Amino acid sequence: MNSETFVAMSESNTASIRVNGITYMFAATALLAIMVFGDTGDFQFPLTMGVIGAALCGMLTFDFDMQTATSLRDSMPEKVASSKADEGYSKAPFTIYRLVNAAVLTLIAVAQISVIF
């Protein structure tokens, strides 16, 4: 892979991470607003499925983006690999990022579900 393609793919992955994060934030905020300002007694099950769906979507999209970043790191061109940019990229703990994301989103979903019931 040449360096221009690598940079374009990295920028695309970064944009994907940003959009997926904003989407999850809006979904979680909307669910929170429904829980705070609405009477959830009549639709607890659909609301719970919404919480679980938003959390799963957030986890899977972030996990996909981290997998893409790992693949990009493995196919980094020599021109980029010999630069300072590779130092931080090579040391990035993508597995820890994935685990922390899964743990945080699970805790948020559990907290939201406990408020519903």
DSSP state of 88: H
Cα–Cα distance for residue pair 23/27, rounded to 1 Å: 6
Query: What single-letter amino acid sits at 23?
Result: T
Whether the CA torsion 13, 28, 30, 27 is positive or negative: it is positive
Note the pLDDT of residue 91.
Answer: 86
Question: Longest C-alpha distance within the chain, in Å?
Answer: 60
CA 50 to chain centroid, in Å, comes to: 17
SS3 33: helix
Say how many CA atoms lie within 13 Å of 108 toward its Cβ. Answer: 22
The domains of the chain are located at: 3-116
The model's pLDDT over 16-45, given as tens digits with 9 standing for 90+, comes to 999 999 999 999 999 999 988 988 888 899
pLDDT digit string, tens, across residues 87-109: 888 888 999 999 999 999 999 99
